[in-house]
Structures are given as C-alpha cells and as structure tokens.
Structure 1
Amino acid sequence: MEKNIKRKRKQKKRRKILKIILLLAAALLAAGAAVFWIFDIRQVTVNGNQYYTAEEIEDRLFPNALEKRTGWVWLQERLGNKKEIPFIQNYTVELTGPHSVNVIIYEKSYAGCIYYTGNYLYFDRDGIIVDSYDTLIEGVPVIEGLGFEQVVLYQPLPVDDPNVFAGILNMTQQLQKYGIKVDRVKYNSKMEATVYMGNVRVKIGSSKYLEEKIAELYSMLDQLEGQSGTLHLETYDKDGNHDYFSFIPD
C-alpha cells in the first residue's frame, strides 16, 4: 500500500515536471512566432557593393513583407537559401537587432568583357567566359581586338596567346585602382592598348610601365575633361623625362 502511494507521488511529480517542460516549450515557440511575425527589418546596412547600390541590394533581398520578417531572414540564412543575383558571387545576412541587418556582398571579379551577339560576355583572369548578360557593369571595360570568331560560355576565349589575359587583368586593376572610368580598351595585333574615354583616346602601347602610365593618365584627368583628341603615353620614359607624351586634338 505504502509503495503504491510512493509510486503515485512519483508519477504525479513526473507529470508536473513534464507539464512545466511543455509550458516552457510552448512559451519558447510563442516567443519564436512573435519574432517571426511581429518584428520586421527596417534598417539594412550593405557593405562590399560596387555593382549595385545599397537600395538595389535591399530591394532584391527583401522584396516583400514576408521576406522582411526577422524570423524569415534568420531561417533563410541558417538554411543557406541564397538568391541568385547577377554579378554577385555570394552574400551573408547578419541580424544586428530585431529590426536591423548587416549585408556583406561578395562581388564577382571580372578581368573584362566582350560584346558578342547582343550580350556582354564577362571573363575572368584566365580568360574563361563566366557570365553573359545584356547589361554592362560600370567599371568593367569592354575589350576589343582580341580576334576570335566563336565563343562558348564557361570556356576560354579562343585566342592565340592565353597570357594576354594577365595583361588585361593588370590593365583593369590599374584603372580601378585610380578610379578611372573608360568606355573600352582596344588591342592591336601586337597587344598594344588604346583606352577610350569619351572623345579622348589614350595610346598606352605595351604593358611595359603600365602602372606608371595609368598614374600619369590619372594626373591629367582634369586637363582632359571636355577635350577631344589623342593622348600619347606609349613612349613613356621612366627616367622622369616628361617630353615623352603629347596630346593631339582632333
């Protein structure tokens, strides 16, 4: 009899503990639901973006009321569900508060692009076509004069010397370093470059002293503004003789 009473007391105690656990679980679920449905994203901080503005990134990642819910954002990030955005390699979304997130953008790196059959084909430092879009990214120069008849996506550009892409990448990096915006870069059969900036043509020549040539171009941007003609930098003299360049107006 006494054993039965003790057993019933233990069972009653266990049921009480189980009830408390269930109540706590229900409270946590309710709190989670509150976060999911009540809190929404009101402040978005974007870092690492050049191809898109912060507003454009926000519109693409959080286009509607559901996708602005804090809980939804947290869940998608934990599940690794990412949206495909042109020119974006990857991104992360970090909750910094119940109404705020920090978005870090990792953009794709392009050496340049070519215009082919109505699209811009973007290639990497190895000359492999990695993307095809009908829009041109600001800051990625259009490369002309490589000499090919047919290209295939995800395949290398069919050029005689694959080493030319190292020179193209170097050109792109130097232009980006100084924030120089160009329309296109044209190479001749000797891989000598001419940079086109509006109505100004800049004869760069070979890749020798390329960094110094681009630095000189940067120092002359104010003088070239509104001009039309050809700036000759192909005979750059590293010894400090500034008679090597000339500007010939149209």
Structure 2
Amino acid sequence: MQLQKKKTGRPIYIVLLVLVSVIVIALFVLFGLFHIRQVDVIGNEYYSAEEIQKMVMSDSLSENSLYLTWKYSQPDAAADLTFLSAVDVTMVNPYHVQIKVYEKSIVGYLMYSGSMAYFDKDGVVIEISQEKREGIPAYSGVDISEPKVSELIPVADEKFRDDIISEAQMIQEILGQNGIQPREVHYDDKQQLILYFTNNRVMLGDNSYMEEKLSNLQSLMPQMEELSGTLHMEDYTAGTTTITFKKGEKGEEELLMNVNQPEGGNAEDVEESTETEEDSTDESENKSGYSEDSGTFSTDASGNDTYTDASGNVTNNMDQMYLGDDGQIISDGYGYIDPYTGAYILN
C-alpha cells in the first residue's frame, strides 16, 4: 500500500511543476516581450510628446503594451484626461505602441493667483497650470473666482461669460484657423473688446456685428503687417466701407482702409487708398454743393469759435459730427446736410 502511494504522488508533482513552469514562461512573455520600449505620439498640438506619454501611461501596468491597448479601448478611458477628447493606442509590435490623441481646442486662458486657467471653445476649464503654452492668447480685464477643472470659467455675470465664450469661438474660427492669433484679448471697463497683436491693437467695441468685424479684420491683417498703430472698428455697421487706422501710439497719422480690399494688400495700397478716399471726399463735397465757404466762422463775445451755416443755423461744434458712415457729406442730390449744424440745405 505504501508503494502505491508513492507512485501516485509523482505524477501530481510533475503536473504541478509543469503548471508552474508554464505560468513562469507566460509571465516572462507577458511582462518581458510585451514591455513597451518605444512610444510614438501623434495628434498633439499644445502638449509635448513627453507630457502626453507621461499622462497616458500614468499607472504601473501601463508599460505593458497588451494592458495599455486594452485600457484605452474602453469608452471612458480618457475621462480623467480633461485636455483630451479621446485617446487611441495601437500596438505596432509587442514592445512598440503608437498613441494618437485628440486634444480639445484651447481658445485662451485667464489668470488667477499666478496660475493660468486654460479653457476650451465651450468655456470649460481644461487645465490649471503655471506653464505658458505657446500660441494661446491671454484674456484680460475679466474678474473671475477660483477656477476648477471641468467647470465653466467662473465669471459672475453670466451674460458677460456667454459673450466671452461666443467671441472666443469666433476669434478661433475666423482668425485662428487662418493663422492669425492675438497675443492678448482684453475687455475694458465697458466690456468692449480690444485685440492686441505684436505691433498693433484693434478696437472692436461691443459684440454687435462681431463676426463681420473679425472677417474684415482677417482680410485687413496683410495690410497691417508693415504698420504700427490702432485699427478702429468700434463704430462698424452693415454699411461700413472704410475703417480708420491711426498710425503710431498717439495716432499721429490716419489712414483709411477699404474693408472690401482683396486680401494680400500692403501698406502702400493703404496709403494709395487713403489718397483716393480723400479725392472722392472732395468730389462728393463739390457735388453736394458744400464747401467751407457755404458757412461763416466767427468768434463770439466769450472768445468761442462759432459757425453759421447757409441757412443761418449757429453752432459751437467744430468736429463735423454729421457725416455718413463713409465719412462723406450726406446728400440726396438736391441738397446736403451741413456737417457742423446738421441742417438740411438745398443746393
């Protein structure tokens, strides 16, 4: 009986030994052969390949190509990576993987306590960092409370926040996709928009006609490359045909830019356009019957300059307020509106 027990015990021992050997070999293959030694990152624009690799391969098992491929085949695998909308991992061979990322579009950042709160086109904060990312404009003049990742930018005035998001989308879609990116997007105390570029600033005013303003700005940018100053678009309307550009920090010289001018113009074209506008102004004034001689300038008893038009209307306003959107004397062919008094005077 004892001999029989020994004979039956040997096969069990051999089976266990074989089983352990198979497990050891399997683990060696699994963790040795499938150990990642080469990673290719594609699709990244804002984040470096090193940053992407570090965040995608964050846990200890992620150095295994089988595990990493399985992990990012799951629907919610990239949920914690707030700056990405999706991640695809492909095994090129057992030790070589390709990580393809789909970054969320960052449209700008707001400063808070020394950190930058980056937000996407929907106004959602996707990263809070002290690292400045190239090509992302700063949004200034906006008071915010403490930002939190995956939440909307914390602006108390909801309407103002909606305007910021809407305008950020248009700036990205109209300017950004054409390679034009302001270094700063600023809101003044009236919540009117100002774009700052390297040599120029653009006064966009309130959010009326914003899409048209940005579309025209995109076509005018080639003309502004050799200039330095301020483009005034605050009073832009549907009927606007020319926009004033003031050269220099104090606006020492004014140029008129034609909003219908083909893309690719230059500074010489702007100046030539300015001369043409001035000539057309003179012609328009002559056609309307208006000239400085149509009225009389004088000084009243207090020493103030006064102006009396051809109809006898008197004013102290010397700023020529009553002009059309194109800067011309308003005329219907039979008469004109005096630019000083606003009175209608027959030719």
**Do both share a fold (TM > 0.5)?**
yes
Partner of 1:242: 241
The CA deviation at 1:191 is 2.0
Range with bigger deviation, 135-144 or 191-200: 135-144
Match of 1:33 in 2: 28
- Matched residue, 1:157: 154
The answer on 1:171 being equivalent to 2:167 is: yes
Q: Which residue of 1 aligns with 2:112?
A: 116
Give the CA RMSD over aligned residues.
4.2
Note if 1:187 corresponds to 2:187.
Answer: yes
Q: What pairs with 1:61-140 in structure 2 (closer than 5 Å)?
A: 61=56, 68-71=63-66, 73-74=68-69, 77=72, 87-88=83-84, 91-108=87-104, 112-122=108-118, 131-140=127-136
Encode CA deviations 1:96-135: one digit per residue, 9 max, x unaligned.
Answer: 4434434243445556432233222345678676643212
Q: CA deviation at 1:230?
A: 0.7
> Which segments of 5 or more consecutive residues in structure 2 lack a partner in the other structure?
1-7, 249-347
Larger Rg: 1 or 2?
2
Matching residue's letter, 2:227: Q
Alpha-carbon contact 2:195-2:203 (below 8 Å) kept:
yes
Identify if the C-alpha distance between structure 1 residues 89 and 248 changes in structure 2 by more than 3 Å, giving closer, same or farther: same
Give the TM-score of the pair, scaled to structure 2.
0.51
The share of aligned pairs that are identical, in percent, is 28
Q: Give SS of 1:182's match.
A: coil
The offset of 1:36, in angstroms, is: 2.8
In the comparison of the two structures, how many residue pairs are matched? Answer: 227
Q: What's the TM-score once normalised by structure 1's chain length?
A: 0.67
**Distance apart, 1:184 and its partner CA:** 1.3
Alpha-carbon distance in structure 2 between the residues aligned to 1:237 and 1:28: 77
Change over 3 Å in CA distance of 1:185–1:232 after alignment to 2: same
Deviation (angstroms), 1:66? 8.4
Q: Structure 1: give runs of 5+ residues left out of the alignment.
A: 1-11
Letter in 1 for 2:171: L
Q: SS state of the match for residue 46, structure 2?
A: coil
